[in-house]
Structure 1
């Protein structure tokens, strides 16, 4: 831990140039430099923001695994500036979040991960594929197109896909089949009984995501 850095949550503002974004960093106890993960929230036009119970649960479990995390509001959400940008401009928001994490004192810039839930997963994926600084990727209930899968096929970074068996928006078993054709260490876990919203299953999701990054970053 960096001297003077408090354990717990810290509100931050980052970005600049075109717009500013708001976020919350979760700082765990532990000796710096620590690995870190940016966590992307679900669709803002359907009420998604960084206060999502899934997002918060993931950040809390990451802290328990001695991993820093940053949850943030996409442009036009909460106190973040700008307007909804159809998932395109939001990719710049993800890149800004990764830059903020990587430049934060106490964070190991060589151990940066990215996680996304639903719309957040859809936006996170292309950023992870083109940003060489992302060393591991976790996607929860991802909305992915055929083009997304094709672009992901050759990516060698560790990847975790989490789906609910009762998700009415995506096919968990189709995702499981497609993950089997990806390069690099990739796996899909299907949680029995869970739907797209994960009510009552947040702890299961968070535990799996934190364990995945803990292994990827070799955190003891």
Structure 2
């Protein structure tokens, strides 16, 4: 789990990076919750996603947004954090020029940043969005949403009503060529305990592997 420092738009950013042995391995960028509410790259859900993508054979990066941990700069209301995520993706692509697919996964605020990144980087191939803050931020920018993905939400989320996320999912699923795999996790609030985290990353793996297997099928038929 090598520590890395890479250039961001407002100073150097601190991360943890795993490099897969396969030069064509897919890559995944994992984004953490809100910096002003204790969010860091060591968040339980973020760390679990990082480990699970690694186990699936991905080159994987998690990092601290500006002003968190040893990352330079200061919180910028979401705008700068989107630029941080783009810089992190630049780093991933630079060290994985032959990557077969690019994924972004985010938890809470990180899922909002991840969805914003989708709109700026059309080469993204999939996403995992956990506890998306659909009642706190306007997700209307997803018009059209550039790719399909997984949205998972806790049924008992006390900060973001499940109905707000379902409304977003329904809107995205009306878009041509977009299929959102929406999963509601019973008995789960906005903050996931250890068991709920394991359940969530199991769902993420199930979704990601189904996409990767579909991608490989035409290759196997050739």
2:89 equivalent to 1:95:
no
CA contact (8 A) 2:128 2:150 kept: yes
CA contact (8 A) 1:23 1:72 kept: yes
The structure that is helix-richer by fraction is: 2
Give the TM-score normalised by structure 1: 0.87
Partner of 1:216: 211
Q: Distance in 2 between matches of 1:63 and 1:89?
A: 27
Unaligned runs of at least 5 residues, structure 1: 1-8
Q: How far apart, in 2, do the equivalents of 1:16 and 1:159 lie?
A: 27
CA distance in 2, matches of 1:85, 1:17: 11
How do 1:176-191 and structure 2 match up within 5 A? 176-182=166-172, 183=175, 184-191=178-185
Q: Relative to total residues, which structure has the larger strand share, 1 or 2?
A: 1
> What is the count of residue pairs matched by the alignment?
210
Q: Is the 8 A contact 1:159 1:186 kept in 2?
A: yes
* Partner residue in 2 for 1:15: 7
Alpha-carbon distance in structure 1 between the residues aligned to 2:8 and 2:139:
32
Say whether 1:80 aligns with 2:71: yes
Task: Give the C-alpha shift of residue 192 in structure 1.
Answer: 0.3
Aligned to 2:202: 207
Aligned 1:118-197 pairs, distance under 5 A: 118-144=108-134, 148-182=138-172, 183=175, 184-197=178-191
Q: After the TM superposition, which parts of structure 1 deviate over 2 Å for at least 4 consecutive aligned residues?
A: 107-110, 144-151, 210-220
RMSD over equivalenced CA pairs, Å: 2.1
- Cα distance in 1 between the residues matched to 2:183 and 2:151: 6
Cα separation, 2, equivalents of 1:147 and 1:60? 28
Scaled by the length of structure 2, the TM-score of the pair is 0.86
For structure 2, the 5+ residue unaligned runs are 217-222
Task: Point out the more displaced range, 70-79 or 122-131.
Answer: 122-131
Deviation, structure 1 residue 143: 1.1
